[in-house]
Amino acid sequence: MQTWWHALCAELGVDDPGTDVTQVLDLAAVAAHAVVRPAAPLTTFLVGYAAGLAGGGTDAVQRATDRAAALAEVSATTEDPA
């Protein structure tokens, strides 16, 4: 996975942001199982987008990840999280 991560960063012309890849994959798993499978890539994309808008960095990623995971968990117990 790390090889792919580094290759993707290079292809997109961005420095490795130091993101914990396992954290991203864990969030994708939560979204896929608690919501529906297609929620996984959408969730991880929006978490990255939100973190970027919040200034980036590991703290912004953690805050966005925590909020998304909490919403996914609520979604697991309700029909429509919105």
What's the pLDDT score for residue 77?
75
Spans of all domains in the chain? 18-77
pLDDT in tens, 1-59: 889 999 999 999 999 888 888 999 999 999 999 999 999 999 999 999 999 999 998 89
Q: Is the pLDDT score of 79 beyond 70?
A: no
Average pLDDT (58-67) is 93
Overall pTM surpassing 0.85 (yes/no):
no
CB burial of 30-69 (b: ≥16 within 10 Å; e: otherwise) equals bbbebbeeebbeebbeebbebbeeeeeeeebbeebbeebb
Q: How confident is the model at residue 76 (pLDDT cuts 50, 70, 90)?
A: confident
